[in-house]
Amino acid sequence: MKAVLCKELGPADKLVVGDAPDPVAAPGHVVVDVKAAGLNFPDTLIIEGKYQVKPDLPFTPGGEGAGVVTELGDGVTHLKEGDKVIFMTQTGAFAEKTMVPAITTIPMPEGMPFEMAAGITLTYGTSYHALKQRAQLQPGETVLVLGAAGGVGIATVELAKAMGAKVIAAASTDEKLEFCKASGADELINYSTEDMKARLKEITGGKGVDVIYDPVGGDYTEAAFRNMAAGGRHLVIGFAAGDIPKVPINLCLLKQASLVGVFWGAWVSKNPSDQIQNMKEILGMVAEGKVRAAVNDVFPIEQVADAYACLTERRAKGKVILTP
């Protein structure tokens, strides 16, 4: 089969597309004929050896996708050959076929495109867990989304709106903000040209925001936290800006607010049944039209370096998808 191969750690231009052995289903696993796979920020780290998971070389990156089951391992009872499925794994998705754990594989809703299904698990799973379990978001609260036009950002815009929140989208260009507006954002902040602190005071009438969703880090974190409402929750998702911020801890005291870590992968490994329930709820929102799960950037795996660049250079609007 054809697969993306990481033979040496480094940037995406070191990845190659070549032949790899066809997988065989181990007990508790299934083999999937991959139709589409989602590219995520952890994928940019794992190929450089900067992620918590460090697979042996060579390996095929990619942690989520959608396709058709072609083989069942021993003990798998909730799936059958020919099923269209959404799957999650640690590596292996950027290939024509992959073996994945059956416990993290669920049937695709009828009529859902593979490209849409491939991009739901990690981004929407992360964002929904962050809002539901970690922030315990309530209807009527205000959510600020940093990096709002990216994969997890736009997922949060849609999910927070569907959960009854007022959504403030912050992004670096007016084009990205228009995309956020079309996805349901109530207020927009261009943090490249506007004073975010002043705009947040204006939008919230000085009250501050109840929940901050922060996959960006860098200089934006402290500026956002200083505009937190009493009892607010700042969700630490990641550091796409590159720098890990150092927020003065006295702000937590003064703001009566919390910094809340979100490590979705670790939570899923300990709470697989809760993750399945979250996915059912997310897919229900998609079926009801409350969540669009829009896909705008699709690349064949031969253009894997271009796909990574789209993500790392923060040009993506929504999810970046690779197709075999």
pLDDT at site 1: 95
Instruction: Find out whether 218 and 196 touch, Cβ atoms under 8 Å.
Output: no
Rounded to 5 degrees, φ, ψ at 85 are: -135, 160
Helical pair 272-287 and 121-129, crossing angle rounded to 10 deg: 100
Helical pair 121-129 and 151-162, crossing angle rounded to 10 deg: 50
Q: CA–CA separation, 306 vs 40, rounded Å?
A: 14
Residue with tokens 């720098």: 243
**Predicted confidence pLDDT, tens digits, the chain (324 residues):** 999 999 999 999 999 999 999 999 999 999 999 999 999 888 999 999 988 889 999 999 999 999 999 999 999 999 999 999 999 998 999 999 999 999 889 999 988 999 999 999 999 999 999 999 999 999 999 999 999 988 889 999 999 999 999 999 999 899 999 999 999 999 999 988 999 989 999 999 999 999 999 998 888 899 899 999 999 999 999 887 777 888 888 888 988 999 999 999 889 889 988 988 999 999 999 989 899 887 878 999 999 999 999 988 878 777 899 999
pLDDT at site 151: 84
Instruction: Find out whether 85 and 107 touch, Cβ atoms under 8 Å.
Output: yes
Alpha-carbon distances, residue 93 vs 6, 30, 145, 175, 315 (angstroms): 13, 13, 28, 31, 22
- In the chain, the DSSP E strands lie at 2-5, 16-19, 29-39, 64-72, 84-88, 97-101, 105-107, 142-146, 166-171, 187-190, 209-214, 228-236, 258-261, 295-300, 319-323
Instruction: Find out whether 86 and 100 touch, Cβ atoms under 8 Å.
Output: no
Phi-psi region of 318 (alpha: psi -120 to 50; beta: other; left: phi over 0): left
Opening angle at CA 204, ends 178 and 195, nearest 5:
60
CB atoms within 10 A of CB 110: 7
Task: Look at residues 196, 202, 162, 205 and name the one whose alpha carbon lies nearest to residue 177.
Answer: 196
pLDDT at site 238: 86
pLDDT at site 244: 86
Q: What is the pTM of this model?
A: 0.86
Helical pair 151-162 and 272-287, crossing angle rounded to 10 deg: 70
Q: Enter the tokens of residue 187.
A: 């207020």
pLDDT at site 4: 97
* Rounded percentage of the chain residues whose pLDDT exceeds 70: 100
Rounded to 5 degrees, φ, ψ at 295 are: -125, 125
Long-range contacts of 264-272 (CB under 8 A, 24+ apart): 264/122, 264/125, 264/126, 264/129, 264/130, 265/52, 267/129, 267/133, 268/88, 268/104, 268/125, 272/103, 272/104
Q: CA–CA separation, 138 vs 164, rounded Å?
A: 7
Measured over the CA atoms of residue 125, residue 126, residue 130 and residue 134, the dihedral's sign is positive
Q: CA–CA separation, 210 vs 255, rounded Å?
A: 11
pLDDT at site 115: 94
pLDDT at site 306: 95
Instruction: Find out whether 104 and 90 touch, Cβ atoms under 8 Å.
Output: no
Opening angle at CA 314, ends 117 and 318, nearest 5:
25
Q: Which amino acid is at 66?
A: A
Say how far residue 264 (Cα) sits from the centre of its chain: 10
Task: Look at residues 103, 81, 91 and name the one whose alpha carbon lies nearest to residue 31.
Answer: 81
